[in-house]
Amino acid sequence: DAGCEEIVSVHLSSALSGTVESANLAAAESPVPVRIVDTKLVTQGTALVLKAAIEARKAGLDADGIERAANAAASGTQLFFILDTLDYLVKGGRAGRAQGLAASLLNIKPVLCINKDGVVEPFKKVKGFRKAISELAAHVAAETPDETKPARLTVLHACAQSSAEDLIAALDSAGAHYELDSVGLVGAVIGTYAGPGAVGLAYHRPL
């Protein structure tokens, strides 16, 4: 009624949420065409994709161009996070109790990632939280060697501002080339599984 001609609908990973399915059901009832973008990401990773879509809209692209920009950002974005504890993954049924107990006893801090299918999987297992931050920063530095083409990067955390600051400092020390887009809290849904103290980042190279 307000003059909308098409909708580009950007969502978190369909492998982790039923939101995309709900969006498809709603799209079927929409009076205007709707393009569904499954980012296969979560939290601040999805935000990077949304910002790419907004920038495409501001540049005057039509819905097709906006959808392409969002999909390009989604496919190029990597997301990693470090958990302070596996307790909340265990309580949520995403990790076994034995696994959680072993990690706790050995002070193992898993570095997890979202794979290309939008599923959480292990990236590295590191002993100690500071070592995990250092390992993640070193990985990003290796992936962003060109200072003339810095990555667009966002830092995320679950009520752990100091850990977010430590991660940024580690990125700088490791020589990562990036432009900091934002530092933000994870949402309640992801925070339920990650638990307080989690910290991570998402980034993509220039599109």
Q: How far apart are CA 101 and CA 95, in angstroms?
A: 10
For 166-198, give the DSSP string: HHHHHHHHHT--EEEEEEEEPPHHHHHHH-TT-
Q: Is 198 helix (H, G, I), strand (E, B) or coil?
A: coil
What percentage of the chain carries pLDDT values higher than 70?
A: 90
Helix (H, G, I), strand (E, B) or coil at 173: helix
Q: DSSP secondary structure string, 12-65?
A: S-TTT-SHHHHHHHHHHH-SS-EEEEE-S--HHHHHHHHHHHHHHHHTT--HHH
pLDDT of residue 92 exceeding 80, the answer is no
pLDDT at position 90: 63
Q: Which residues, listed in sequence order, are joined to residue 122 by a DSSP beta bridge?
A: 112
Helix, strand, coil percentages in the chain from 3-state DSSP, rounded to 5 = 45, 25, 30
Nearest to 178 by CA among 199, 201, 147, 157: 147
Distance CA 153, CA 183 (A): 9
Question: How high does pLDDT run on average in the chain?
Answer: 89
Q: Which residue in the block uniquely carries the two structure tokens 């929409």? A: 30
pLDDT tens per residue across span 113-168: 999 999 888 898 888 899 999 999 999 999 999 999 999 999 999 999 999 999 99
Separation of alpha carbons 119 and 114, rounded Å: 5
User: Is residue 204 very low, low, confident or very high in pLDDT (cuts 50, 70, 90)?
Assistant: very high
Q: Per-residue confidence at 106, pLDDT binned at 50, 70, 90?
A: very low
Supply the DSSP symbol for 187.
P
Count how many Cα atoms sit within 13 Å of the Cα of residue 79 in the half-sphere of its side chain: 27
What is the rounded distance in angstroms from the CA atom of residue 15 to the CA atom of residue 165?
A: 30
pLDDT higher than threshold 50 for residue 94: no
pLDDT at 105: 38
**98 pLDDT exceeds 50?**
no
Higher per-residue pLDDT: 95 or 30: 30
